[in-house]
């Protein structure tokens, strides 16, 4: 089944083209990495498809429907740089945000929802930290909090913007484990990724951007020297260092 | 109505205004918009004076309408300048605040020259004078504050969510513009009410100081609100008490001085607590 279908998506910042005429078709049940240099339009692609920034496009469909119809089926984790880590919010409260719904925003958290939050925190190994202010956690733990927020949404599509930025090895392994477990349940995971060394071992498909779509396909066919050199300006073996 | 009852009503009204302003200040701080409250406090002055000039009466609800219009004009000017110029946010806020406040003072001087204007006591808006508030004013303000507090209580999760992670909230289907408009409306209303108690110049004290003092003591969401309310209550009641019993002293500066003292004490306390933690 098609998970995401994008036709002719373009984004401009002032007069500068950030993304030009992107066409994408992503199948369900895959782990997909979006790679490219800084400024190549990776985060812009995510934000544009989720309606977070102005964009021009012919159509964007998730599971054959418009975003507003399938919002509850999608979970989104923003870049950590956008978060104020000194904000007075606890780990538990961040995860509880995942259960907020635009249709029932006034409702109190039910007992069942509290259980769902605890289950998600258990899955990412943060139950003991649930009452801590988020700034008290390490970078890896903070990213796991946002993963837990995505988990409570029971979404079919998980979209993450640089989830491994500033993350320790233990957290990286744990996040990959959770993603693989989600994939085994048939979920789709789309990640903006910067660490090329972990692409081949963990992702089924790769999308390569350079303000336009350079390549998209199975990792084994797309993740090769010529495409990477074109995208990053240096050979693949040097990009992996 | 007895004098004792009037004083109780005055205390109740001013502390309710102060607590409401403190809570709005809490959200402004979380949204990193504390200076907007200060700018609005200055920007509503021309609206209030012009409302009086055109209506010829000092009715709270008429002045409030003028204040709300001026507040929205100021916010629109800030958004426009941020979008269409290269000026930084703090420069834009200062520019709009000075422009509106200057206009307000100019119109105020003009109104003061008229016999009716001289009697209306519009200069009370500059430094605040709670004794100038009528019982009708206090009742009207108390109702408005109660509505604002109830609205904030019901929408707490949403406002808090936007302050923490606006892109997530927008992605979840909440309209950023709607909630921003909602916050702007209640900030303008509380500012318009508050300046009648503490004055234009020191309204930001009610918005900023209680929550800033509270932030020195805790970084827990609920405790932060509780401490903010405590400081707002303390500053307003103590300041009002002194102001009422020494008729020469204006309310605004007194409340502000008390709130500044609490901020100084909490900041020193925090410093010593951190030192004790690091070297203790």
What pLDDT shows up at residue B260? Answer: 95
Q: At residue A103, does pLDDT exceed 70?
A: no
- What value does the mean pLDDT take over residues A110-132? 93
Q: What is the mean pLDDT of residues A161-168?
A: 86
d(CA A76, CA B68): 37
Contact B164 A97 (CB under 8 A): yes
Q: Does B206 touch chain A (CB under 8 A)?
A: no
What ipTM does the predicted assembly reach?
Answer: 0.84
Residue A176 phi/psi, 5° resolution? Answer: -60, -40
d(Cα A160, Cα A157) in Å, to the nearest integer?
A: 10
Query: Within 13 Å of residue A187, how many CA atoms lie on the same side as its CB?
Result: 22
Q: Which of A5, A86, A161 is nearest to B168 (CA)?
A: A161
Q: What is the pTM of this model?
A: 0.84
Q: Look at B169 and A100 and tell me if their CB atoms are within 8 Å.
A: yes
Chain A touched by B224 (CB under 8 Å): yes
SS3 A128: helix
pLDDT confidence of residue B278 = 64
**Cα gap B82→B92, rounded to integer Å:** 7
Do B35 and B244 touch, CB atoms closer than 8 A?
Answer: no
Q: Which CA distances in Å does A144 have to A107, A141, A180, A234, B7? A: 26, 5, 15, 32, 55
* Domains located in chain B, CATH noted: 3-199 (1.10.3470.10)
First to last CA, chain B: 58
Strands A59-62 and A2-13: antiparallel
Question: A124 to chain B, minimum CA–CA distance in Å?
Answer: 20
Could you give the CA distance from residue A150 to residue A164 in angstroms, rounded to a whole number? Answer: 15
Q: What whole-number distance in Å separates Cα of residue A134 and Cα of residue A84?
A: 9
Find the residue in B nearest to A80 (Cα): B165
Hey, are the CB atoms on B172 and A100 less than 8 Å from each other?
A: yes
Q: Give the residues of chain B that fall short of pLDDT 50.
A: none
Q: Is there a contact between B203 and B191 (Cβ–Cβ < 8 Å)?
A: yes
| CA–CA distance, A145 with B96 (Å, rounded to integer) | 40
Domain count of chain A? 1
The Cα B216–Cα B265 span in angstroms is 10
Closest CA to B32 of B156, B211, B266: B211
Number of neighbouring beta carbons within 10 Å of residue B243: 25
Provide the terminal-to-terminal Cα distance of chain A, rounded to the nearest Å. Answer: 36
CATH number at residue A218: 3.40.50.300
| Average pLDDT for A72-91 | 90
Judge whether B84 is closer than 8 Å to chain A, CB to CB. Answer: no
- Partner residues linked to A157 by β-bridges: A74, A188
Q: Per-residue pLDDT tens for A14-67?
A: 778 899 999 999 999 999 999 998 889 999 999 999 999 999 999 999 999 999
Tokens read off for A211: 């303000």
**So what's the pLDDT on residue A83?**
87
Checking if the pLDDT of A241 tops 60, the result is no
State residue A51 phi and psi, 5-degree precision: 75, 20
CA nearest A157: which of A36, A34, A52, A27?
A27
Residues of chain A contacting residue B216, judged by C-beta atoms under 8 Å apart: none
Q: Which domain holds residue A20?
A: 2-239
- Quote the pLDDT of residue B209: 94
State how far residue B137 is from chain A, nearest Cα, in angstroms. Answer: 32
Contact A179, A189 (CB under 8 A): yes
Taking CB atoms and an 8 Å cutoff, what residues of chain A touch B30?
Answer: 87-88
The residue of chain A nearest to residue B220, with distances taken between CA atoms, is A88
Q: A101 or A148, which is more confident?
A: A148
| pLDDT tens digit sequence for A122-147 | 999 999 999 999 999 988 899 899 99
Q: Which residue has the tokens 């259960």?
A: A99
Q: How far is B213 from chain A (nearest CA, A)?
A: 14
Chain A residues interacting with chain B (CB cutoff of 8 angstroms): 47, 50-52, 68, 71, 74, 76, 78, 82-84, 86-90, 93-94, 97, 100-102, 105-106, 133, 135
C-alpha angle A25-A29-A33 in degrees, rounded to nearest 5 = 65
Q: Are residues B164 and A78, on separate chains, in Cβ contact within 8 Å? A: no
| pLDDT, position B117 | 61
């Amino acid at each position: 089944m098609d998970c995401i279908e994008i036709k002719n998506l373009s984004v401009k910042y002032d007069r500068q083209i950030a993304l030009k005429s992107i066409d994408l078709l992503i199948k369900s049940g895959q782990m997909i990495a979006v790679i490219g240099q800084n400024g190549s339009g990776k985060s812009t692609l995510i934000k544009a498809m989720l309606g977070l920034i102005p964009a021009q496009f012919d159509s964007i469909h998730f599971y054959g429907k418009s975003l507003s119809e399938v919002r509850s089926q999608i979970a989104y984790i923003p870049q950590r740089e956008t978060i104020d880590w000194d904000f007075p919010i606890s780990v538990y409260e961040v995860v509880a945000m995942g259960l907020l719904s635009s249709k029932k925003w006034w409702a109190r958290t039910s007992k069942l929802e509290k259980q769902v939050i605890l289950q998600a925190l258990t899955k990412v190994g943060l139950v003991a930290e649930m009452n801590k202010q988020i700034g008290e956690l390490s970078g890896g733990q903070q990213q796991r909090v946002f993963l837990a927020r995505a988990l409570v949404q029971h979404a079919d599509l998980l979209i993450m913007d640089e989830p491994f930025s500033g993350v320790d090895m233990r957290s990286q392994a744990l996040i990959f484990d959770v993603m693989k477990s989600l994939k085994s349940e048939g979920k789709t995971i789309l990640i903006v990724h910067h660490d090329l060394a972990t692409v081949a071992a963990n992702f089924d498909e790769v999308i390569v951007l350079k303000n336009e779509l350079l390549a998209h396909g199975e990792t084994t066919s797309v993740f090769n020297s010529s495409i990477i050199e074109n995208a990053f300006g240096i050979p693949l073996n040097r990009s992996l260092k | 109505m007895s004098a004792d009852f009037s004083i109780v009503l005055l205390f109740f009204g001013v502390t309710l205004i102060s607590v409401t302003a403190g809570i709005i200040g809490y959200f402004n701080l979380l949204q990193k918009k504390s200076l907007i409250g200060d700018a609005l406090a200055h920007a509503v002055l021309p609206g209030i004076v012009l409302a009086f000039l055109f209506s010829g009466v000092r009715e709270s609800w008429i002045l409030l309408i003028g204040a709300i219009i001026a507040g929205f004009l100021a916010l629109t000017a800030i958004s426009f300048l941020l979008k269409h110029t290269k000026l930084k946010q703090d420069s834009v806020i200062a520019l709009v605040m000075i422009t509106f406040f200057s206009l307000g003072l100019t119109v105020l001087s003009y109104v003061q020259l008229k016999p009716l204007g001289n009697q209306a006591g519009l200069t009370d808006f500059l430094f605040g004078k709670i004794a100038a508030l009528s019982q009708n004013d206090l009742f009207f303000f108390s109702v408005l504050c109660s509505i604002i507090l109830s609205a904030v209580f019901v929408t707490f999760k949403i406002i808090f969510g936007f302050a923490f992670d606006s892109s997530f909230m927008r992605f979840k289907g909440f309209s950023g513009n709607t909630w921003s408009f909602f916050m702007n409306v209640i900030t303008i209303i509380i500012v318009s009410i508050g300046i009648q108690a503490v004055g234009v110049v020191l309204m930001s004290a009610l918005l900023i100081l209680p929550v800033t003092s509270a932030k020195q003591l805790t970084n827990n969401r609920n405790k932060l609100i509780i401490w903010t309310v405590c400081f707002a209550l303390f500053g307003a009641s103590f300041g009002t008490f002194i102001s009422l019993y020494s008729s020469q002293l204006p309310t605004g500066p007194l409340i502000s001085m008390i709130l500044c003292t609490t901020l100084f004490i909490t900041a020193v306390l925090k410093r010593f607590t951190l030192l004790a933690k690091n070297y203790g």
